[in-house]
Chain A
Amino acid sequence: MRIRVLKPALLTLAVASVSAQAADQYPNVSLTVDAYHKSDNTALGGRHEGWGLSHTELSVSQRFGNLFDGTITAVGEANEEETEFNFEEVYLQTLALPAGMTLRAGRFLSDIGYLNGQHPHADSFTERPLIYRSFLGGHYYDDGIGLNVVMPTELYWRVGAEAFTGDELGEFDHDRTIGAWTVSSKVGGDIGASQSWQAGVSYLRNRMLDQGGAHEEHAHDEHEHEHEHEHEDDAHHGHSHGAEYAGKHLYLADIVWKWSPQGNNRGQQLTLSGEYIRATDPNESAASSDYHEGWYGSAVYRFSPQWSAGIRHGRVDLQMGHDDHFHEASMTESTLMLAWNPTHTQTVRLQYAHQDVRKDWQDTLSDSADNALTLQYIISFGAHDAHAF
């Protein structure tokens, strides 16, 4: 059990409790339980084998007059090896800035990529794609501030920038005021009545890996074998929050396309999405040709109001640092899922995943799963948050 609330988060809470006195609205409380059973561990993170609770969250949000929305989300995860509790969101968000601007401060999900800003319980698959687990620790949230601007254009166009402490990117020896910053942009629109799309590019600058550097490197020099062991451990944990394979520069591109008959997505909807990530400069000794990269593509078809099926395929190509050079490792993952929504607050999902190691080094990916079957049950109570596109 570990509880971490960092300084900016506490500050946000203090501000929130002061303004709460002025507000007459009730807070929205929601609880989402995500229970599962998984037949086998998968490499590069994901849910732990056996019975467990994944991303079970209690969220409280409160409107403060017309100025701010405050959100606190506590997330609990439990599996056969450990129980963890964490605050993933503690932030205030402005409602009244002019010119399409929104400012967020506190701890929140970064707006990079397509999936990162969304709550995992809204995902179409039980686990995030390989690239999210390898490069973003499943989903990247951190303490900081972020500004988004929606442009006054006919076509939807959003630009955003964020500055974070970087502490959630992994374990580091040093402390920086701004350990990471991001910029991102998204455009999107409709094509006729039946189709809609969104495309985005984002960039994450990981300053925690700059000179003076990372814990990982430190460990690498002096205790190489322990380090390797640590790595394996990390891979077992479904929710190692730091990125396992990091780079000073992370580039992301994402695209989503949705179709439903006459735009009526109640009965039927086809969603195609894909993302690509490249992480360059993995460490001090990296040459310009050394980078991690990966992608995934997914297709999810809701064929009736209560049923959907999906397929996803993804790949990562990793550079395993070894003294002053790198060894390549790569893996693919194919996933099939079938989901049933008996009511709009419940989901039962059956998912099959198959991992294929293309190239390995020192058995880093040896815990890949040939066949991993997951049965997941999600139920939510209270206020239901409106989901993003």
Chain B
Amino acid sequence: MRTPFKAASLLGLALAANPASAFSIFACEPEWAGLAQQLAPQASVFSATHAYQDPHYIEARPSLISKLRGADLAICSGAELEAGWLPALQQRAANPKVQTGRPGLLFAAEQVETIDQTETGFFDTAHVHPEGNPHLHLDPERLALVAQSLSQRLIDLDPENAQTYQRAQSAWEESWQQNIERWRTQAAPLKGERVLAQHTTFDYLWRSLGIEVIADLEPKPGVPPTTAHLASLIDKVEEEAPLAIVHAWYQAPQSAEWLGEKTATPVLSLPSTLTPEQQIERPEQLFDHLISALLELQGER
């Protein structure tokens, strides 16, 4: 036994002596990767997930373990969005910097107030978030608050580059506030519109745009749509004539399409996060895309 142990600890010491290269950021979701790249232009940024994956259901894959192993900072949505996979990654990656409670792990949901916080007990088996809705990046105001926290965290962890981070943050903040003003004007016609949504993914966006969600395709949050539940929505949809039935790119479109066909309501598939492959690389491009897709649909009616 002694020999492998010795070998392992010697190896450990040798590796610990390795100098670190570029500041490495592990983002649980693409929106945080995109934001981090804006605020830390020189950092190497990795996103664990992409827009076609349901962020609730990610596996603690070997590739993600090795990425988290080398991270200086991890930024995740929190509010239990990653409860099914991040703890397994943290445990396997054995990187003390990004353990929960350490400054190297930033949960966005802990930087702002989340909506729809619910009380849950030990015997609750439905998929709910007692810490509120975690998809908070879809509110431009909350995103700006997370950006402030993230920038401060970067300065704390990498003080040598504090100036770079401060400059990046003030430039970003300025242009972001201009964007918020622009979106307010652009999206004004959307106020008072009604939609049907699949899951609570876009709830922050609906709130910030003043759009009302008349029903959810999911019978309970996290439970896939059932035929019985969809059928029960037909009357309501016909009565209230919503702008669209909306689902995220990562969700199977069948339920929305079925209900759309039954009620002659348009189905709108939207990205819930950044997709660099489709030229949505920065947070403002995501909001531009979402708002113009909704306006376009409104124009067609």
Contacts and interface: CB of A to CB of B under 8 A. Distances in A.
B96 interface: yes
Given A147-B8, A343-B223, A100 B125 contact: no
Interface stretch (A13-21, A124-132, A350-358, A377-385): A377-385
A44 interface: no
B176 interface: no
B177 interface: no
A97 B88 contact: no
Contacts of A93: 91
B186 to A, nearest CB: 31
Q: Interface extent on B, as a size class?
A: 35 or more
Contacts of A178: 1
A379 B124 CA distance: 11
A325 interface: no
B175 interface: no
Interface string B64-75: 011001100000
Given A152-B15, A267-B252, A389 B91 contact: no
A97 B96 contact: yes
B120 to A, nearest CB: 10
A29 to B, nearest CB: 7
A265 B62 contact: no
Contact of A95 (B58, B70, B96, B127): B96
A382 B122 contact: yes
Interface stretch (A3-11, A74-82, A184-192, A217-225): A184-192
B59 interface: yes
Contacts of B59: 196, 258, 265, 387, 389
A29 B53 CA distance: 29
Given A196-B59, A386-B87, A345 B1 contact: no
A263 B93 CA distance: 21
Contacts, number: 158
Interface string B215-229: 000000011100000
Contacts of A215: none
B57 interface: yes
A343 B126 contact: yes
Contacts of A66: 96, 99, 101-102
B96 A96 contact: yes
Nearest to A304: B224
Nearest to A31: B122
B11 interface: yes
A161 B223 contact: no
B185 interface: no
B230 to A, nearest CB: 15
Interface string A93-124: 10111111110000000000000000000000
A153 interface: yes
Interface string A358-389: 00000000000000000000011110111111
A292 interface: no
B11 to A, nearest CB: 7
Contact of A149 (B12, B60, B125): B12
Nearest to A100: B94
B84 interface: yes
A283 to B, nearest CB: 23
A72 interface: no
Interface in B47-106: 50, 52-54, 56-63, 65-66, 69-70, 83-89, 91-96, 99-102
> Which of B88, B94, B252 has most A Cβ within 10 Å?
B94
A266 B222 CA distance: 11
A388 B95 contact: no
Contact of B62 (A163, A188, A387): A188
B62 A196 contact: yes
A326 to B, nearest CB: 30
Nearest to B66: A156
A150 B94 contact: yes
A234 to B, nearest CB: 29
Contacts of A95: 94, 96, 99
Contact of B83 (A96, A193, A196, A384): A384
> Which of A97, A181, A344 has most B Cβ within 10 Å?
A344
> Which of B16, B60, B96, B252 has most A Cβ within 10 Å?
B96
A149 B11 contact: yes
Contacts of B94: 95, 97, 100-102, 148-150
Contact of A99 (B12, B60, B101, B222): B12
A155 B69 CA distance: 11
A385 B50 CA distance: 23
A346 interface: yes
Contacts of A345: 125
Contacts of A329: none
Nearest to A187: B62
A287 interface: no
A264 B61 contact: no
Contact of A264 (B52, B100, B122): B52
A263 B96 CA distance: 28
Contacts of A183: 4
B63 A386 contact: no
A124 B52 CA distance: 25
Q: Which 6 interchain pairs have the tightest Cβ spacing?
A: A188-B62, A156-B62, A386-B88, A266-B54, A156-B66, A266-B57
9 contacts: A149-B8, A156-B62, A161-B8, A163-B1, A264-B52, A346-B125, A381-B123, A386-B87, A389-B59
Interface of B: 1, 4-5, 8-9, 11-13, 15-16, 18, 50, 52-54, 56-63, 65-66, 69-70, 83-89, 91-96, 99-102, 122-123, 125-127, 222-224, 250, 252
